[in-house]
Amino acid sequence: MKNVDLALDGNILTIKLDLSKEFGPSTSGKTIIIASTEGNKAVPGKEDVKIGLNVYKKKG
């Protein structure tokens, strides 16, 4: 995962990321990637629950 921190407290999932970070352009080149789970990942402590997350902004 890039710039994604997942924390599970009981049944509450908290997602933390730094909006000031950038990881370059997306594959299409239209957006800049800020954070990504890079596909669907299991939630820590709840392996049957999956998360897929992409955070991005428009280029330019």
Q: How many CA atoms lie within 13 A of 1 on its CB side?
A: 21
> Which residues have a Cβ under 8 Å from the Cβ of 10 and sit 6 or more positions away?
none
Per-residue pLDDT at 29: 94
Do 15 and 4 touch, CB atoms closer than 8 A?
yes
The number of domains in the chain is 1
What is the structure's pLDDT at 60?
74
Q: Model confidence at 41, in pLDDT bands (50, 70, 90)?
A: very high
The Cα 22–Cα 20 span in angstroms is: 7
CA angle 28, 34, 40 (to 5 degrees): 75
Instruction: Give the domain extent around 39.
Output: 5-58
